[in-house]
Structure 1
Amino acid sequence: MHAPLPPPRPQYPPHLLYRARGLAAAGRRFVLGIAGAPGAGKSTLAEHLVEALDGRAVLVPMDGFHLAQAELQRLGRAGRKGAPDTFDAAGYAALLARLRSPAPGETVYAPAFDRTLEEAVAGSIPVAPEVPLVVTEGNYLLHDEGPWSRLRPLLDEVWYLEIDDAVRVSRLVDRHVRFGKPRSYAERWVHESDERNARLVARGRNRADYVVTQVP
């Protein structure tokens, strides 16, 4: 059986790009956050904005701060990968602070998450000092517990992306299958782990500057 194809890229309201262009033209480095539950389409929207801004923005995902699988196993958290305490939240906050105030002539290197390896890879994303907009996306940008509470003041603007839960869950299952998980395992993981995290993420919705309701 063939793995499911990625969902088609949605059509976004034009005002989202206008808003992002305004941040990129503000005259200083801005950091735009895109938050939302697992499977809401955060990375797709972020990639769309960065592509459309054509060199004036760079994407730095939160997922680059996943703890390594070996460390999750040592901590006994491998079965909860994706929960808030399975990330280096303090390290992510430190990077955002550095990105928010770029040093002249200094390129900052951010980590990325390789879904094939299921590991973060350091030094993957160069952020040149002249790039005016950093777009970052992730589940917990609006989470207010522990070191996650440091994030919100470091983000000039945060958009919360939401979509019909049934569509979102279906996409999540398909994504896990696409990256090699058996469908029965994917369905169990989504309902037992991803959806628990989704309920936690939803608590931060009212701290967003703007809610983007996506129609599938």
Structure 2
Amino acid sequence: MVAQSVGFDELVQAAGALMFGAGRKFIGIAGAPGSGKSTTVERLLEALEEDHPGQVAILPMDGFHYDDAVLHQMGRRPWKGAPDTFDVGGLVSVLRRLKDGSETRVAVPVFDRDLEISRGSARIIPDDVKLILVEGNYVLLDRTPWDALAGMFDLTVMIDVPEEELRRRLRARWEHFGLTEDQIAHKLDGNDLPNGRDVIQGSRPADIIYRQDEGSL
């Protein structure tokens, strides 16, 4: 099946349609680093909240980053953000708890970008939430161990952004954090953009391709 290419209004409509089904629903939203996943999901949450207040929540994949101490032990700290630097089993476990629905409150971790660490139990998802937006680079990645997420979503979305625009956004991000030119070069061409190509080339086909409206970021 060929994925449907949509703008933001159509994305809201597709997500909103899930609110009327029985049981809790999950949307997997993937994209390369710098594609605007977090911003898109926050916009989507805000739009859905207008008609469904308190019934939508976000589960960010970035909350499952390994701690820097673990990455140092692994020898992978310079490549933080690569597919092997996440606790995929932890994400799968939390999704299963959320799908089970027997708990009244599930605490989930959130990544603090300013501190560059994951904060455990930083967000609560209560049992009256009907739709969970699961966002992250690799939630559709078709390789072990990420393929354990296959079949967990009721709708999947890939955010489509040209690589030259990804490079521009990522450079601006790392400049904002005060990195040197050498550090930025490693981040871009040694980590972020190769990871982005992994996402684009190695993910399962999404139900929807979202192309951001001009000026949406």
**2:112·2:119 contact (CA, 8 Å) conserved in 1?**
yes
Deviation digits for residues 160-204 of structure 1, max 9, x if unmatched?
Answer: 001121111111111122234235422431121111111111124
Give the equivalent residue in structure 1 for 2:141: 143
Give the equivalent residue in structure 2 for 1:121: 119
Q: Using the alignment, how far apart are the partners of 1:75 and 1:14 within structure 2? A: 43
**1:37·1:198 contact (CA, 8 Å) conserved in 2?**
yes
**Percent identical residues:** 37
**1:115·1:179 contact (CA, 8 Å) conserved in 2?**
no
TM-score (norm: length of structure 1)? 0.89
**1:61·1:138 contact (CA, 8 Å) conserved in 2?**
yes
Give the equivalent residue in structure 2 for 1:84: 83
**2:27·2:132 contact (CA, 8 Å) conserved in 1?**
yes
- Highest RCO, 1 vs 2 (Cα 8 Å, sep ≥ 6): 2
Deviation digits for residues 62-93 of structure 1, max 9, x if unmatched?
Answer: 00000000000011010111111100011111
| Comparing 138-147 and 202-211, the one that deviates more | 202-211
Give the equivalent residue in structure 2 for 1:42: 37
Give the equivalent residue in structure 2 for 1:186: 184
* Equivalent position amino acid for 1:128 in 2: P
| Comparing 14-23 and 115-124, the one that deviates more | 14-23
**2:111·2:118 contact (CA, 8 Å) conserved in 1?**
yes
Computed over aligned residues only, the root mean square deviation of the Cα atoms, in angstroms, reads 1.5
Give the equivalent residue in structure 2 for 1:53: 48
* Equivalent position amino acid for 1:30 in 2: K
Give the equivalent residue in structure 2 for 1:158: 156
Which segments of structure 1 move beyond 3 Å, counting only runs of 4 or more?
A: none
Q: Using the alignment, how far apart are the partners of 1:153 and 1:39 within structure 2? A: 26
Residues 183 and 102 of structure 1, relative CA distance in 2, 3 Å threshold: farther
**1:162·1:212 contact (CA, 8 Å) conserved in 2?**
yes
Which secondary structure does the structure 2 equivalent of 1:153 belong to? coil
* Structure 1 segments unaligned to the other structure (5+ residues): 1-11
Q: Using the alignment, how far apart are the partners of 2:59 and 2:146 within structure 1? A: 16
Deviation digits for residues 46-69 of structure 1, max 9, x if unmatched?
Answer: 111111222221111000000000
Give the equivalent residue in structure 1 for 2:106: 108
Q: Using the alignment, how far apart are the partners of 2:99 and 2:210 within structure 1? A: 24
Residue 145 of structure 1 deviates from its aligned partner by 1.7
**1:111·1:124 contact (CA, 8 Å) conserved in 2?**
yes
Residue 25 of structure 1 deviates from its aligned partner by 2.4
Number of residues of Structure 1 aligned to a counterpart in Structure 2: 204
**1:162·1:211 contact (CA, 8 Å) conserved in 2?**
yes
Residue 13 of structure 1 deviates from its aligned partner by 2.9
| Comparing 65-74 and 23-32, the one that deviates more | 23-32
Residue 205 of structure 1 deviates from its aligned partner by 4.5
Residue 213 of structure 1 deviates from its aligned partner by 2.2
* Structure 2 segments unaligned to the other structure (5+ residues): 1-6
| Residue 67, structure 1, aligned to residue 66, structure 2 | yes
201, 204, 207: which is aligned to 2:205? 207
